[in-house]
Structure 1
Amino acid sequence: MSNSVAENIANFLKEYSPFSYLSHEELIQVATSIGVINLDKHKILFQINDKLHDSFYVVASGVINLSVIADAEETLLNKCYAGDVFGLRPFFAKNNYMMTAKAREDSIVYAIPIAVFKPFVAQNPQVLDFLLESFATNTRNPFDKENRGKLITDNVYTEGQQNEIQYFQSLAYNKTPLKVSVSAIAKDTAQLMTENLTDSVVVTEQNHPIGIVTDTDFRSKIANGRFPLISTIDKIMSSPVITVPENVSVAEAQLLMLKNNVSHLCVTVDGSDKSEVKGVISEHDLIVAQANNPGVLIKEIKRSLSPKELKLVREKLTDLIQSSIAKNIPLPHIYNISGEIITAIIKRSIELSILDLGSPPARFAWFSIGSQGRKEQFLLTDQDSFLVFEDVAEEKYRDVKDYFLKLAKRTTTILEKVGYDFCPNGHMASNMLWCKSMSDWIKQYNNWMKTPGEKSNDISSIFFDYELVFGEGKIEDTLDDLILKNTKNNALFFDYLGNDALRKNAPINFFRKFNLEEEGDHKGKFDIKNKAIMPLVDGARLFAISLNLKGINNTYLRFKQLAIADPKFSEIYLNCADAFLILSKFRTLEGLKNDSTGDYINVEELSKVDKEKMKNALGPMKELEELIKDKFQLTQFS
């Protein structure tokens, strides 16, 4: 690269963090190694599940859209403009991209080789702090108040990203806005707004928005005498209108209001001013949304000092879930929000236990498994967890394990008081079987995977749905690597896991009737958890492990990723993804209605339409079952 080109790039970069922390000589060194990428409109730079690149990126010109999979389609997460840094996943993670980067318009992007930039990160704490904080929390350039050089996280579903959750949090707004024509009289419009108790009216032509009038416009333009009351509305309206699409999130709406210094946004079908008006978002709507913001609940969790205080937050979460479902907010969004809040509750419970017991004698990691490990826990189901502590000298082992067993017992007791029952199968970190050293866990997983059905009759597939809640990330990496190693050429393990996925009783019989419970407390009811949802969970897990889909535990997202990774059978996977959401919603509604786990449904209470909807959702299970049999050629454990 010529010196003049490198000089121009260096001068560009120095205006933005974290490059502003580097000297001119260092910037020249970086600039000479940069690759310049020209992206045509709609061109993809990288997409979900792509292997990581050896560079990260800075937008030189144009706009890059970052999107993630949500609600059966790619949903916009953020827009990157000149100076914005993105694509940092290769710095901090080893699994594939969890996000798609696509040019919104013709754009130029600088590709900065990570190998070249890493020495400057190591030498400059400010650069490292910037990258770490932004990657972990999705803050918009934590050190630049002018909001230039935003650094956008690629770490989509991680703990602590409250701003990011707001990109998934749907927004309630006025879906029946007042509309007037451009020739309407100001006096008549004011009277109309008063009668309808609203603070805005949209000015339209052929139902397309051309302006908006608010209380502020009347105060600043009519009340002070600038325009008479008999003026036509076009004299006082604000134009052009700032428009957004119907599925706009809280964060996007808030940013647009701040950026454009407006108090109202107009919702249209496609987000432009050339399509039909569907609603109006006001500042008040944002205030209401912020009151239910998961970030507010998480702050309450961090301040909590007792199980009682944590229980109050958990009750608020139940209300949030119920209201979100009532508003028809997509289930994947609610899963994400609920999962983060429950994770925060567990983490705080561990912290309170440590405050009582004193500092841990060794490094450790606490993992959630089961529905919480998959971020699918809406209802007050039981606890599932395990604990791993680092290997210690033999003479210290007993004391170290005793400490962690006490820690686990205190933590699980706190969670029980919050409302999460003890696991009836004992799958909890407080059980000495599931609280042990790294070496012991390596032996455990080796037994499960190398000799399934022999030394390991107690194998439980939920131990392959783990989520790190608290502690050392390196311990999680070790487990990831161990499982990957043991899956290679291990037909016996997949034979066992495949047959285990097929052991559940059929949900409907030959006559297309629900197979109901024949005895016990739930006689005459349908076990939607074990007969409908768990076969999908088990199937998604089986294929995800076989295709090495790391870092994705949620059943819905697993099926979505499987459709990308294994396109030949994408239709089956996508049908299963939809079925999982439908069945999960039935279970959640049942649980909320009866304050229960929602596992058993009285189908006689369902409408005819709902019965058919549930039966149709069970259809893809048969296709999944046949695919499992075909893919894994099940034999030994059949």
Structure 2
Amino acid sequence: MASMKNTIAERILDFLKNYPPFNLIPKETLLEVAKNVEINYFEKDQIIFSQNDTPHEHLYMVYEGVIRLYRFAEGKKHIVDICDEGDLFGLRPLIMKENYLMGASANEESIVYGIPINLFNDIILNIPKVSQFLIASFATNTRDPFSEKHKGKLFANIKAIKKVENTFIETQSAKYTKNPITCNPKTTIQEAAIRMTTNVINSIVIAVDKIPLGIITDKDIRTKIGTGIFKITDPVELIMVSPVITFPENITVAEAQIARLKHKVSHLCITKDGTNNSELVGILTEHDLNLIQGNNPLLLIKEIKCAKDAETLKYIRSKAAELTKGYIEQEIPIYFVTKVISEINTAITKAAIELSIKEIGKKPPVEYSWLAVGSQGRKEQLLMTDQDNALVFENVEDSEYDGVKAYFLKLATKVTEKLNIVGFEYCPANIMASNPKWCLSKREWKHQFKEWIKDPIPEKILLSIIFYDFELIYGNKELYNQVAKSVLKLIKKNQIFLSFLGKVTLDNPPPLGFFKQFLVEQDGENKDNFDIKSRAIRPLVDAARIFSLYHGLQINNTIARYKKMMEVEPQNKDLFESCSNAFKILLTFRTSQGLANNDSGKFVDINSLSKADRLKLKSCFNPIKNVQEAIKIRFKTTQIG
């Protein structure tokens, strides 16, 4: 009889090992689970558990058939989900000490495995990926996935499960040089240079009572002393770079890299509290970072600056694609990846502009700003997708206008050609600065936005939506700020515009159809594929944009917008946090798909996905539904015909 039982257990094991999280569990442990599985048969419409029932001692997995999960609200029965072969349900007792939030019944004759919850305790402690999967799985059927209430609550009888430690370099604390050599502001440059030489260092911090005031590096001595601008007998305060860029002691490699990219400095000062008003404890140099970082985006940026033609830029951008691939494989946070790759894309565009000005042989006649719009404007362009850009130039007299515009159109044409060579293809809708429609003076841009905002017909909104995510890439910052501020001011005066914008964004329904099937394309070359960009990513981007415009925030990045919204509307913190998490998952997913298939990652073949990946995608759809509901209520979209 025992051998018979084992045969059944082995058959159960063969089934379980095909599905997450059981595919993550070693065979011996899984056999132990399989031996204790309870096999249940349910007839059509038979109830497995009801809403508000006390939790069972098992979680359930569908072996054969279909189970529907439902919830009663306001006297009506709502189907929440449909579970088919390999799907888990009834996870609540595993995660929360609470009664079932929903009921489960058989949609047709079904066989369901009951898996004892108490067997999971050791598994969870020893295999963190199992706990991560179960939490994600649980969150998909929870009203507010990722909310404070569920965070960290893994299992009722285990007090705390340690967070899986990240092992990748970017999130490690940067190793900085402790007790850096300092001097006071009145020290002569010669004395400082002697100290640097004696200690074999390439920088010295100028400090008073251990508070850092400035820094000089080899470069300062080369450019300010070697050139004869200052004398070696002058005090260091005359040539020091001040204020210094400071960070606290626990700065990560990622933060250090971003700070150095942003501030264009080679040294960061580490102080007790991270400000330049507290005691200096260390210095972090380019060399320190290079030691821990083999593939350094900063080196790519240096190469970009030295590039003499578009072909070189193309080669460097292909190295950046490798960098993205490595980051995604190491599961480095997507927010960090977008920042680094955006800096590289920005540097490439800057280089393309500078090379083009050189070719024309004539400096721009007036101040201008080169703008990225759409995904590059939001700093979310990780893959080589189409270019979307625009240009604004300073207002000029009518008599000069034609000549000035002709110059900028010539410049933009050269720049877009170079970006096309690099691999950013021309925009099919011609939303590029080389198009006279999108190469305008400041006055014309303000007028254009006014027209879009004051007469918000759907066609105009669909065309203009991309322009509400515009970011300065190169040129005059003040000019860019003036246009950005005037747009936010216009919207503040014309709040009805947001209702029209909301209505257009809601025309894109949540990605799940009836019975929680993925909405796939019905015809054409992408038939039966899931459009992850339009159906899942865009609704979250649109939602972040509309809330950001509503609050008058001059922030473009989707993750940063949600982060800010959590502060601005603390009562909706859970909603915005779940949207941010969903967006991160989707962007990572699209990027890895695009890198794997060498395309834009826009379409996903659902049938080729593992159960775990399907679940991961599904977990992102609830926040879309919830935030679209919030838009409907906030912006009264139903009142617009």
> Taking structure 2 as the reference length, what is the TM-score of the superposition?
0.57
Aligned match of 1:465: 469
Aligned match of 1:425: 429
The reply to whether residue 311 of structure 1 matches residue 314 of structure 2 is: yes
- Report the Cα distance in structure 2 between the residues aligned to 1:146 and 1:476, rounded to whole angstroms: 31
Unaligned runs of 5+ in 2: 1-167, 183-208, 212-219, 225-235, 264-279
1:406-450 residue CA offsets vs partner (Å, 9 max, x unmatched)? 111110000000000111111110111100111111110101111
Aligned match of 1:536: 540
Alignment partner for residue 377 of structure 1, among 358, 381, 384?
381
SS of equivalent to 2:427: coil
1:477-511 residue CA offsets vs partner (Å, 9 max, x unmatched)? 11122112112242321011111211114311111
Q: 1:76 to 1:547 in 2, by over 3 A?
A: farther
The reply to whether residue 606 of structure 1 matches residue 609 of structure 2 is: yes
SS of equivalent to 2:371: strand
- Report the Cα distance in structure 1 between the residues aligned to 2:454 and 2:175, rounded to whole angstroms: 44
Aligned match of 1:337: 340
The reply to whether residue 573 of structure 1 matches residue 580 of structure 2 is: no
Alignment partner for residue 557 of structure 2, among 554, 561, 567?
554
Larger Rg belongs to? 2
1:34-58 residue CA offsets vs partner (Å, 9 max, x unmatched)? xxxxxxxxxxxxxxxxxxxxxxxxx
SS of equivalent to 1:386: strand
Q: 1:75 to 1:554 in 2, by over 3 A?
A: farther
Which of 503-512 and 353-362 deviates more? 503-512
Q: Percent same amino acid among aligned pairs?
A: 38
- Report the Cα distance in structure 2 between the residues aligned to 1:455 and 1:475, rounded to whole angstroms: 28
Alignment partner for residue 566 of structure 2, among 549, 563, 566?
563
Question: Does the CA-based 8 Å contact 2:258-2:339 persist in structure 1?
Answer: no
The reply to whether residue 497 of structure 1 matches residue 501 of structure 2 is: yes
The reply to whether residue 325 of structure 1 matches residue 420 of structure 2 is: no
1:219-278 residue CA offsets vs partner (Å, 9 max, x unmatched)? xxxxxxxxxxxxxxxxxxxxxxxxxxxxxxxxxxxx99978x9xxxxxxxxxxxxxxxxx
Aligned match of 1:296: 299
Letter of the aligned partner of 1:543 in structure 2? F
Aligned match of 1:389: 393
The reply to whether residue 632 of structure 1 matches residue 635 of structure 2 is: yes
Question: Does the CA-based 8 Å contact 2:372-2:470 persist in structure 1?
Answer: yes
Question: Does the CA-based 8 Å contact 1:501-1:538 persist in structure 2?
Answer: yes
The reply to whether residue 413 of structure 1 matches residue 417 of structure 2 is: yes
The reply to whether residue 164 of structure 1 matches residue 168 of structure 2 is: no
Question: Does the CA-based 8 Å contact 2:175-2:288 persist in structure 1?
Answer: no
- Report the Cα distance in structure 1 between the residues aligned to 2:505 and 2:352, rounded to whole angstroms: 33
1:549-608 residue CA offsets vs partner (Å, 9 max, x unmatched)? 22x211111111101111111100000000000111110111000110000000111111
Question: Does the CA-based 8 Å contact 1:590-1:598 persist in structure 2?
Answer: yes
- Report the Cα distance in structure 1 between the residues aligned to 2:599 and 2:471, rounded to whole angstroms: 24
Q: 1:293 to 1:455 in 2, by over 3 A?
A: closer
Larger RCO (alpha carbons 8 Å, 6+ apart): 2
Task: Give the count of matched residue pairs.
Answer: 403
Letter of the aligned partner of 2:244 in structure 1? K
Aligned match of 2:524: 520
Unaligned runs of 5+ in 1: 1-70, 84-107, 111-125, 131-141, 169-254, 262-282
- Report the Cα distance in structure 2 between the residues aligned to 1:161 and 1:364, rounded to whole angstroms: 31
SS of equivalent to 2:246: coil
Letter of the aligned partner of 1:421 in structure 2? E
Q: 1:406 to 1:509 in 2, by over 3 A?
A: same
- Report the Cα distance in structure 1 between the residues aligned to 2:592 and 2:615, rounded to whole angstroms: 17
- Report the Cα distance in structure 2 between the residues aligned to 1:300 and 1:578, rounded to whole angstroms: 34
Question: Does the CA-based 8 Å contact 1:452-1:459 persist in structure 2?
Answer: no
Q: 1:625 to 1:325 in 2, by over 3 A?
A: same
- Alpha-carbon deviation of 1:151? 4.0
The reply to whether residue 364 of structure 1 matches residue 365 of structure 2 is: no
CA RMSD of aligned residues (A): 4.0
Aligned match of 1:90: none
- Alpha-carbon deviation of 1:459? 3.6
Question: Does the CA-based 8 Å contact 2:510-2:621 persist in structure 1?
Answer: no
1:7-26 maps to which residues of 2 (within 5 A)?
A: none
SS of equivalent to 1:560: helix
Q: 1:146 to 1:595 in 2, by over 3 A?
A: same
Letter of the aligned partner of 1:404 in structure 2? F
Aligned match of 2:596: 593
Letter of the aligned partner of 1:293 in structure 2? N
> Taking structure 1 as the reference length, what is the TM-score of the superposition?
0.58
- Report the Cα distance in structure 1 between the residues aligned to 2:402 and 2:175, rounded to whole angstroms: 50
- Report the Cα distance in structure 2 between the residues aligned to 1:637 and 1:109, rounded to whole angstroms: 63
Question: Does the CA-based 8 Å contact 1:533-1:580 persist in structure 2?
Answer: yes
